[in-house]
Amino acid sequence: MAGCYGAGALSSLLARWSGRLALGVGHVAALAGAVAGLGVSLSVLLGGPGYPLTLPLPDLFPFARLSLTVDGLSAYFVLVISVVAVAAAIYGPAYLRAHSPDARPPRQAAQALALNVFLGSMTFLCFAGDALTFLFCWEGMTLASYVLVVSDDQDGEKARAGLLYLVMAHAGTALLLVAFLALTERAGAFDFGALRAAAAGLDPTTRTTLFFLALGGFATKAGVVPLHVWLPRAHPAAPSHISALMSGVMLKVAVYGMLRVGFDLLAPAGGPLPPSWGWTVLILGTTSAVLGVLYALQQHDLKRLLAFHSVENIGIILIGVGLAMILWQTEGPGGVLATVALTAALLHTVNHAAFKGLLFLGAGSVLCRTHVANIEELGGLARRMPWTAGLFLLGAIAISALPPLNGFVSEWLTFQVLLGGAARFHGPAGLGIVFSAAMLALTGGLAAACFAKAFGVTFLGRARTPHAERATEAPPSMIAGMMWLAVVCVVLGVAPGYAMRLLDAPTALLLHGPGASAVVTARGPLVLSAGLTPSGSSATAISMTVAAALLVALTAIAWVLRRGVGRAPRRVAPTWTCGMRPTARFDYTATAFAKPLRLVFAALYRPRREVIRETAGTPYVVRRIRYAGEIVDLSETQIYHRVERGISELSQAIRARSTGRIYGYIGFVFGALFVALLWYGVGP
Amino acid sequence: MSERSLGLVLLTTALLALLGPLVTGFIQKLKARLQCRQGAGVLQPYHDLVKLFRKGTVQADTTSGFFRSIPVLVLAATMAAGALVPVVRAGPPPVPLGDALMLLGLLALARFLTSVGALDAGGAFGGMGASREMTIAPLVEPVLMMVVFSAAVVAGTTELGALAAHRGTSWILGWHAPDFLGFAAMLVLLPAETGRIPVDNPDTHLELTMLHEGMLLEHSGPGLGCMVLASHTRQIVTLGLVSALFFPVAATGVGALGLLVGAGAFALKILVLAVYLALVESSYAKLRLFRVPLYLGIGFVCALTALALRIL
C-alpha cells in the first residue's frame, strides 16, 4: 500500500514529459493503494483474532521508535478512507481534464503528488502506532490537502480560503501537540502502549484537561460548530474529487482521533469516562447538526451547501460518540446501549463518506460541464445529464435520512439510542437527551428540504443560463466513480446487517464488550434490532431488506395503475403559466424556495435584504429591480470578527511601538533573553 | 405477545389504500352538511379516481424523465407506510418490517419526491407549493416524533404493533397526564399532517392558500390519480398512526370474529378522528403561512411536556 502511494507520489516526476501522464499514473497508483487498503482492512476486520499487529518502522530518530499498529478501529477507518479513495481515483483524471483542460504540467504534477501524499498520510495516520507517526501523518494530511485546495485555479478567493484553512488547521494541531507532548513527557516514550500506561496514572483533572485539548484539536479538523468556519470555504475550493475526500474522509480521520484518544489512550482503567466528556461531545454534536443544516439551507453554491452538510453529519456522528461515552460502563451489565451508540456513529461514518462522496462527485460533474457553481444559474440539467442527475438524487435521498437508503439506517440507530438513553437516565439528563433527539429529527426534516431545493433548482425545470443549456453528460469514468459510491449507499441501506460484522472489531476493541453484530443483528443479518429496556426484552426490530422489497413490490403495482385504464392518449404541452409564454424566469429560484424557512429562523440568520427599484415616473411601472440579500453566520460575527478586531488592535499597538530600526529590535531580543534567564536560570 | 401474520399485514395495506378515499368523501360530506349544503356523495372521491385513471395525460414539455415515475414512487412509499399500521390487531408482525420511525420516514420520502416532482415542470405554482410544503414538514416531523417517543419511552419499543399492544384495551381509563398532553399535541398536528385547514386547504388551487395542491398542478390523468390516491392513503395512515398510539387495539383478536370486531373498532376510531377533522375545518379559517410555525409551536410545547413528564 505504501509502495502504491509512494509510486503515485513519484509519478509526479513524469510531469517533466507529460502532465497528463503524471496525472494518469498518479491516479492509477492511488487506485491501487486504495484497493490494497480495502484488502488489508477487510482481511483484518473479517479475519478474527491475531490483532493488534505491530510493525516497527526504521529508526529515523534517536529518541523515538516509530511503529505501525493495525487493530480493529484503525482497519475500519482505513476501510472508510479506501471506499471513497477508489471512487475519487476513478473519477479524478477525467474530471481534472474536463474542468481545466489548459492546466500546465507543474500544476498537474503537484496535484498527482498531493493526492497520493494526502491519501497515504490519512491511511498511515490510522495505522500509526505512536504519537510521532500520528502527528507526522496529521501534518502531511493538512499540508497535502492545503496544496490541493489552492491548486485548482489562480483565484484570490481560493487562496484566502486556503490560508484560513491552514491557519485553523495549525491552531488545531497546536492543541494536539500540547496534549500529546504532555503525555509523552510523562511516558518517556512515544508509542501508544507507553502512553496508555502513563495515562492510567493521571489524576482526573489532568486527564480531562488533556482530553479537552485533544478534542479541541480534532474538532477543528472535523469542522464542529463553532470551529467550522474554514470548512465551507476550503472544501468547495478544491477539485471536486478532493472535496469528496476532504468532506467524506478527512473529517472522519478527526473522528478516529477522538475515538482513539477518548476511549483508548486517555480512558481511565476499569471505570466510566468522566461525564463531562460525553456531554460536551453530545452538545457539540447536536449544535453542529442543527446549525450545519440551517446554514446549508441558505447556500446557493452547490459545493458550499454540501460542505455545510458535512458539518451537520459530523454532528450526527458526534451525537452517537457522545452517547457512547455517556453510556459506557454507566449502564450496568451488558453495556448494550453504548455498543449500539458506537455502532450508530461508526455506521454513519461510512454512510456519510459514501453519500457525501457521491454528492460531491455529482456536483463536480455539474461544475466541469457548466463551470457554474451557483445553482441559481443552472436548471434543467436532468434532461442533459440524466445519469448524474439520477445518482445525485440517490445521494440526496440517502443524506436526507429517508428509507430505504443508508442514511436512514444510521439515524434510526441513533434515535433508538437517544430514546433508550432518555429512558435510562430520567431527570434533567434524560430531558437533555430527548431534546437532542428532537433536534436530530428537525435536522432530518431540514436536510430533506435543503436537498429538495438543491436537486430541484439544479437539475429540474428550465435551463436559466446558456451555461446550463450547453451542458452534456459527464464522461463514463466519472459516472463509474459515482456509480461505485451509489452501490455502496444502496447495499448499506438495503442489507445493513451484513456490514455489522465489519463493526464487530472496532466496537469490541473500544468498549471491551460484545461486538456490534451480537447486539444489533442478534435476530439474523436481515433484521436490525435495538433494545431500549435494560433487559432488552421488547426490542424494536426493523428489516430494511423486507421494507425495500415491499417498496419495490408496491412500486410495481403502482406502475400498473399509472399506465391507466385503456390506451388513453398522451401529449406534451407547455407548462401552465396563467396564459403567459413560459420562460426560465418562471422557475422557482433557490432563494425563493428557502425564503419561508429564512423567515421562520430569522433570529438565527439575521437576514439582510436590499431591494432597489427603478421606476418610470409612476411607482406602478417598474423599469428595473435589483435584489440583494445575505445572511450571517452567527459564530463568525460573534466570535471570529471579535477575535480579528482584537488581533488587529493589538498589532496596531505593536506597530506604534516598533521604530523600524534594527538596534531597537536587537535591544528587544536581548531584553527578553535577559528576563527569561533571570526567571528560569535562578533555580536550585 | 400475539403477532400479526404477514397475510394480515398485506390485506390491511390493501384495505387502507381502498378505504382512504372513503374517509375523504366522508369528511367532505360532513363539511358540506355543516355548511348547510347538500354536498357530493360519500363515494365521490372514487368516481374522481376512476375518471382520472381513464383519462389521457398532458405532460409539461420541460419535464425530465423523473416526472413520470414520481407518482408511482409517491404512491408506493405511502402504501408501504400503510403496511406498518396495526389495523385490526395489535402486536408486531412475525417478520420485522418497520417501526414508527420508518413510517414517518416513508411519509417523508413521499413528500420529498412530491416536492421534487413539483419543481420539475418549471412553473411558479409548483415551486411555491414545494417551498411551503418543505417549510412546514421539518417543523411537523420533530413534533410527531416526540409524540411517538413519549409513548415509546414507556413501552420500550417504537414498533407500532407492540406500542398498541402495550396500550392495552382500557383506553382512556388507563391514561396518564402525558397521554392527554401527547394526544393534544397530536390533535394540533393532525390538520398539518393531513393537509387540512388551518394549515393547508385541500379544496383550492388559489396560490395564496395552497400547499399540497400546488404541487399536483402539472400532474394529469393516471399520474394525478396516483398522487390523489396517495394523499387519501396518507390521510388514513396518519389517522391510523394516531389511533395506534392512543386508542386501544385488540391484542387478542382470534378467528374471523376477532378480525371483524377489530375492523369495526378501527372503522369507529377513524370515524371519530374524521369527524374531528371536519369540525376543525368548518370552524376555523386558514392561517397565514407565517402563523403556522406558531400554531405548530403549541403542539411542540405539548409534546415536549408530555415527554418531560414521562422521563422526569
Whether the CB-CB separation of B239 and B23 falls below 8 Å is answered with: yes
pLDDT at residue A79 is higher than 80: yes
Chain B contact for A639 (CB, 8 A cutoff): no
Please judge whether A543 and B97 are an interchain contact, meaning their C-beta atoms are less than 8 angstroms apart. Answer: yes
Rg (CA), chain B: 19
Neighbours of A190 (CB within 10 A): 25
> What is the rounded distance in angstroms from the CA atom of residue B286 to the CA atom of residue B230?
23
Whether the CB-CB separation of B211 and B132 falls below 8 Å is answered with: yes
H-helix segments, A238-375: 240-245, 251-259, 275-297, 302-327, 336-370
Among chain B residues, CA nearest to A432: B308
More confident residue, A386 or A640: A386
Please give the interface size between A and B, counted as residue pairs whose CB atoms are below 8 Å apart. 310
Which among B73, B149, B289 has CB closest to A555? B73
Whether the CB-CB separation of B27 and B278 falls below 8 Å is answered with: yes
Chain A contact for B103 (CB, 8 A cutoff): no
Rounded to 10 degrees, the C-alpha dihedral A53/A58/A64/A69 comes to -20
ipTM: 0.95
- Say what the pLDDT of residue A154 is: 65
Cβ contacts of A293 on chain B, cutoff 8 Å: none
Q: What distance in Å separates residue A456's CA from the closest CA in chain B? A: 6
Interface test with A, best of B4, B55, B157 (most A CBs within 10 A): B157
**Domain residue limits, chain B:** 6-311
- Strands A618-630 and A540-542, sheet pairing: unpaired
| Structure confidence by residue, pLDDT tens digits, A532-570 | 555 444 578 888 999 999 999 999 999 988 887 766 788
Regions of chain B with pLDDT less than 50: 1
State the SS3 of A372-435.
CCEHHHCCCHHHHCHHHHHHHHHHHHHHCCCCCCHHHHHHHHHHHHHHHHHHHHCHHHHHHHHH
Q: Mean pLDDT across the stretch A576-598?
A: 86
- Say what the pLDDT of residue A20 is: 73
- Which cell goes with A379? 436548471
Cβ contacts of B146 on chain A, cutoff 8 Å: 434, 437-438, 441
Cα–Cα distances in angstroms (integers) from residue A406 to residues A343, A479, A495, B300, in the given order? 14, 20, 9, 28
- Say what the pLDDT of residue B173 is: 74
> What is the rounded distance in angstroms from the CA atom of residue B224 to the CA atom of residue B134?
20
Neighbours of A611 (CB within 10 A): 9
| Structure confidence by residue, pLDDT tens digits, A333-385 | 557 888 899 999 999 999 999 999 999 999 999 999 998 889 989 988 999 99
Neighbours of A46 (CB within 10 A): 12
Cβ contacts of B17 on chain A, cutoff 8 Å: none
- Say what the pLDDT of residue B167 is: 78
Amino acid at A559: W
H-helix segments, chain B: 6-34, 44-54, 66-82, 100-120, 124-155, 160-167, 177-193, 212-215, 221-246, 255-283, 292-311
A158: left (phi over 0), alpha (psi -120 to 50) or beta: alpha
C-alpha count within 13 angstroms, C-beta hemisphere, residue A53: 14
Q: What distance in Å separates residue A479's CA from the closest CA in chain B? A: 18
Whether the CB-CB separation of A131 and A190 falls below 8 Å is answered with: yes
Chain B contact for A555 (CB, 8 A cutoff): yes
Please judge whether B99 and A542 are an interchain contact, meaning their C-beta atoms are less than 8 angstroms apart. Answer: yes
**Domain residue limits, chain A:** 271-520, 588-630, 634-681
Please judge whether A577 and B119 are an interchain contact, meaning their C-beta atoms are less than 8 angstroms apart. Answer: no
**Mean pLDDT over all residues of chain B?**
88
- Which cell goes with A678? 533571570
Whether the CB-CB separation of A45 and A72 falls below 8 Å is answered with: yes
| Structure confidence by residue, pLDDT tens digits, B197-242 | 888 888 877 766 678 888 888 899 999 999 999 999 999 999 999 9
- Grid cell 406498518 is found at B84
Picking from A110, A274, A298, A280, the residue whose alpha carbon sits closest to that of residue A206 is A274
> What is the rounded distance in angstroms from the CA atom of residue A193 to the CA atom of residue A530?
34
Chain A contact for B18 (CB, 8 A cutoff): no
Chain A contact for B39 (CB, 8 A cutoff): no
**In terms of C-beta density within 10 A (0-12 exposed, 13-18 middle, 19 or more buried), how is residue B179 classed?**
buried
pLDDT category at A112 given cuts 50, 70, 90 is confident
Q: Mean pLDDT across the stretch A90-113?
A: 85
> What is the rounded distance in angstroms from the CA atom of residue A69 to the CA atom of residue A52?
6
> What is the rounded distance in angstroms from the CA atom of residue A342 to the CA atom of residue A362?
30
Contacts of A663 (CB under 8 A, 6+ apart): none
Whether the CB-CB separation of A80 and A128 falls below 8 Å is answered with: no
Which among B122, B135, B162 has CB closest to A600? B135
Chain B contact for A587 (CB, 8 A cutoff): yes
Please judge whether A442 and B79 are an interchain contact, meaning their C-beta atoms are less than 8 angstroms apart. Answer: no
Touching B: A residues 428-447, CB under 8 Å: 430-431, 434-435, 437-439, 441-442, 444-446
Among chain A residues, CA nearest to B63: A461
Residue A641 parent element (H or E):
helix A641-657
More confident residue, A568 or A671: A671
**What phi and psi, each to the nearest 5 degrees, are found at residue A616?**
-105, 90
- Say what the pLDDT of residue B298 is: 94
> What is the rounded distance in angstroms from the CA atom of residue A183 to the CA atom of residue A282?
25
- Say what the pLDDT of residue B1 is: 41
Q: Mean pLDDT across the stretch A312-336?
A: 84
Chain B contact for A579 (CB, 8 A cutoff): no
Contacts of B17 (CB under 8 A, 6+ apart): B79, B82, B229, B233
**Mean pLDDT over all residues of chain A?**
87
Whether the CB-CB separation of A361 and A483 falls below 8 Å is answered with: no
For residue A404, whether the previous peptide bond is cis, meaning omega lies within 30 degrees of 0, is yes
